[in-house]
A and B are shown apart, each in its own frame.
Chain A
Amino acid sequence: MTTSATSTTSSTPAPAIPVRGAHAGQPTPLRILGRATRSELIKLGTVRSTGWVLLLAAVSIIGIGVVNAIGILVQLRQRPDSQPPTLDPAAAALSGVGAALVAVAALGILSVTADYSSGMIKTTIAAVPRRAYLVLAHTGALLSYVLPVAVGSTLLTFLANKIIVSFAGVTISITDPGVARAVVGGGLYLAVLAVFTAGLGWLLRSTAGALVTWLALWIVPTLVIMLFPSSIVERVGPWLPANVGTAIYQFGVSGTAAWSSLAVFAGYGLVLMGLATVLLRRRDA
Chain B
Amino acid sequence: MIEINQLSKRFGSKLAVDNLTVTIHPGRVTGFLGPNGAGKSTTMRMIVGLDRPTGGEVLIDGLRYSDYAAPLRQVGALLDAKALHPGRSAYHHLWALAVTAGIGRDRVREVLELVGLSDVAGRRTRTFSLGMGQRLGIASALLGDPPVLMLDEPVNGLDPDGIHWIRGLLRALAAEGRTVFVSSHLMSEMALTADHLVILGRGRLLADVAMAEMLAASSPSVLARTPQTDAFAMVLRQEGISFQRFEPQVLSITDEPLDRIAELAFAHQIVLHELRATHGSLEDAYLALTHDAVEYVATTPTSRRVA
CA A160 to CA B113, docked complex, whole Å: 50
Q: Please indicate the chain A residues that have their CB under 8 angstroms from the CB of B142 in the complex.
A: 17
Which of B159-195 touch A at CB < 8 Å?
159, 161-162, 164-166, 168-169, 171-173, 176
Is the CB of A217 closer than 8 A to any CB of chain B? no
Is the CB of B295 closer than 8 A to any CB of chain A? no
Partner of B49, one of A118, A120, A129: A129
Q: Assuming A119-B84, A123-B84, is B92 touching A46 (CB within 8 A)? A: yes
CA A122 to CA B41, docked complex, whole Å: 13
| Residues A6 and B161 in contact, CB atoms below 8 Å apart | yes
| Residues A10 and B119 in contact, CB atoms below 8 Å apart | no
| Residues B116 and A8 in contact, CB atoms below 8 Å apart | yes
Number of interface residues of A (CB under 8 A): 51
CA A119 to CA B117, docked complex, whole Å: 21
Chain B interface helix/strand/loop/mixed: helix
Is the CB of B249 closer than 8 A to any CB of chain A? no
Q: Please indicate the chain B residues that have their CB under 8 angstroms from the CB of A77 in the complex.
A: none
CA A39 to CA B116, docked complex, whole Å: 24
Residue of B nearest to A122 (CB): B83
| Residues A5 and B117 in contact, CB atoms below 8 Å apart | yes
Partner of B119, one of A4, A40, A284: A4
Q: How large is the interface on B (under 10, 10 to 19, 20 to 34, 35 or more residues)?
A: 35 or more
Proximity bits, B1-18, A CB within 8 Å = 1, else 0: 000000000000000000
Q: Please indicate the chain A residues that have their CB under 8 angstroms from the CB of B100 in the complex.
A: 35-36, 39, 127-128
Residue of B nearest to A130 (CB): B66
| Residues B159 and A125 in contact, CB atoms below 8 Å apart | no
CA A13 to CA B170, docked complex, whole Å: 11
Is the CB of A2 closer than 8 A to any CB of chain B? yes
Residue of A nearest to B173 (CB): A17
Is the CB of A47 closer than 8 A to any CB of chain B? yes
Q: Please indicate the chain B residues that have their CB under 8 angstroms from the CB of A123 in the complex.
A: 83-84, 97, 140
Residue of A nearest to B74 (CB): A23
| Residues B72 and A127 in contact, CB atoms below 8 Å apart | yes
CA A123 to CA B84, docked complex, whole Å: 7
Q: Please indicate the chain B residues that have their CB under 8 angstroms from the CB of A11 in the complex.
A: 161
Is the CB of A227 closer than 8 A to any CB of chain B? no
CA A2 to CA B129, docked complex, whole Å: 9
Which of A240-285 touch B at CB < 8 Å?
282, 284-285
Proximity bits, B91-113, A CB within 8 Å = 1, else 0: 01101110111100000000000
CA A47 to CA B86, docked complex, whole Å: 9
Determine how close the nearest CB of chain B comes to the CB of A75; give it in whole angstroms.
45
Partner of B132, one of A2, A4, A47, A284: A2
Partner of A23, one of B48, B73, B114, B173: B73
Determine how close the nearest CB of chain A comes to the CB of B133; give it in whole angstroms.
11
Q: Assuming A9-B116, A10-B162, is B97 touching A118 (CB within 8 A)? A: no
Chain A interface helix/strand/loop/mixed: helix
Is the CB of B287 closer than 8 A to any CB of chain A? no
Proximity bits, A58-87, B CB within 8 Å = 1, else 0: 000000000000000000000000000000
| Residues A120 and B50 in contact, CB atoms below 8 Å apart | no
CA A271 to CA B172, docked complex, whole Å: 50
CA A32 to CA B100, docked complex, whole Å: 7
Q: Please indicate the chain B residues that have their CB under 8 angstroms from the CB of A8 in the complex.
A: 116
| Residues B83 and A5 in contact, CB atoms below 8 Å apart | no
Is the CB of A7 closer than 8 A to any CB of chain B? yes
Proximity bits, B71-90, A CB within 8 Å = 1, else 0: 11100010110111111110
Q: Please indicate the chain B residues that have their CB under 8 angstroms from the CB of A118 in the complex.
A: 82-86
Partner of B51, one of A19, A27, A35, A285: A285
Is the CB of A16 closer than 8 A to any CB of chain B? yes
CA A8 to CA B114, docked complex, whole Å: 10
Is the CB of A212 closer than 8 A to any CB of chain B? no
Q: Please indicate the chain A residues that have their CB under 8 angstroms from the CB of B77 in the complex.
A: 126
Is the CB of A229 closer than 8 A to any CB of chain B? no
Partner of A126, one of B49, B93, B169, B171: B49
Interface centre among B77, B116, B172 (most CB of A within 10 A): B116
Proximity bits, A21-34, B CB within 8 Å = 1, else 0: 00100110001100
| Residues A129 and B65 in contact, CB atoms below 8 Å apart | yes
Apart from the given pairs A32-B69, A129-B71, 5 other A-B contacts in the complex at a CB distance below 8 Å: A5-B116, A5-B119, A10-B161, A47-B87, A285-B51
A-B contact pairs, 5 of them (CB 8 A): A9-B115, A11-B161, A32-B69, A46-B92, A114-B85
- In the complex, the 8 A-B pairs of residues with the closest C-beta atoms, listed nearest first: A9-B116, A10-B161, A14-B168, A14-B169, A46-B92, A129-B66, A119-B83, A285-B50
- Could you list which residues of chain A lie within 8 angstroms of chain B, going by C-beta atoms? 1-2, 4-11, 13-20, 23, 26-27, 31-32, 35-36, 38-40, 42-43, 46-49, 114-115, 118-123, 125-130, 282, 284-285
- Could you list which residues of chain B lie within 8 angstroms of chain A, going by C-beta atoms? 45, 48-52, 65-66, 68-73, 77, 79-80, 82-89, 92-93, 95-97, 99-102, 114-120, 129, 131-132, 140, 142, 145, 159, 161-162, 164-166, 168-169, 171-173, 176
